[in-house]
Structure 1
Amino acid sequence: MKQLSKFAVAMSMAVGCSQAFAAASIFVVEPGSDGFNIHTAAFNGSSYDITKLVFDFTTTVTSDASHLVIDGSPSSIGAPAGGTATFFGSGAVFGFDFTSFNSFESFNFQWDPDSAINGAYGATGADFIGGTVTAFTTNGLYKGTFELVGTGPDVAAGLSPYTSSVVPEPMTGASLLAGLGVLGLVARRRRS
């Protein structure tokens, strides 16, 4: 029952976001506009273990025309049940390595994000918009971007399976080459 309630909370956070959330199975949420005291949570709705989460805020835009950074480490970390979460990185790109982050488990951390040009910046969830989260899982990468939930102030990133490039099947490549060959022959005949 506890696992179902966690899933229901994660799904309700996703309501109001774009269609990208439809295929998402890992959610990272930042509820509210509670500056200086950000509680970020992740929920693993996939059937695979998460081994690492990477947060990248280099593309966010804060109200002082900068981007979010973390200086130091989080003030508290709530590791997934039965596992550990180890913080790494600094600045606009940071993350956590996990020893065990299984399906239907959650993870959270509390931190005080600043802007890259203001160490006393009072960040809110709205400053997360445009930031990306990448989950390394036992089934490859999952990736998502923070978006506003409904009219706000909550933001969430729905992570879906990610492939960096499309690699064509061998038969597709052979068909392409054969097609180009035929086009070359047709063009040659027309010239003669």
Structure 2
Amino acid sequence: MLTLRTENTEHKYSSSPLDWITMDTSIAYWLHPRTTAQIQLLGNPVIWYSANAASLIYSVLFIFYLLRQRRAVYDIPTGSWLTLCLTGVLFLGGWAVNYLPFFLMEKTLFLYHYLPALTCQILLIPPLIEHIHQHLFRSEALKNTFSALLLVWGFSLYVTYRRICPITYGDPALSPAELQSLRWKDSWDILIRKQ
């Protein structure tokens, strides 16, 4: 372990912090000795990308409200503004504290280092949805459309979960062709046993 750092070798499952945001990497934890059943560290891509989108949308909303308030235009009540600020400090601040320091590290990094930061991003989604539903859509038609989109989003979460479930929990043993179909990205290291 002490000499590995000095050599120009890289661990098979190491990754860079930029790979984490786009879910470009996976880690194989377990492979059944006789079948193709396996457990992979892979999250739900819909949640992963929704968390990234929530961070981006929150940042745009925050900057928009901040610029409008500098011009003495107050779009939302003071209590909602303070809640939005606290949400950003807790969740985007938590993401930054748990993610950005990895760019300064010179050690071997793995996908699981990103999980605390991802948790902060995921926790940003519900307050952002609530804020959008309460303050951005004034008419009932827009609120109902947004609610319908949330139902579609929730359904896509479930469908993606069911699709990736066999390699997340190691059950059941799949054929090599079925395993290949679960590889959404070429960089995912889904193990396929040669027969």
TM-score (norm: length of structure 2): 0.22
TM-score (norm: length of structure 1): 0.22
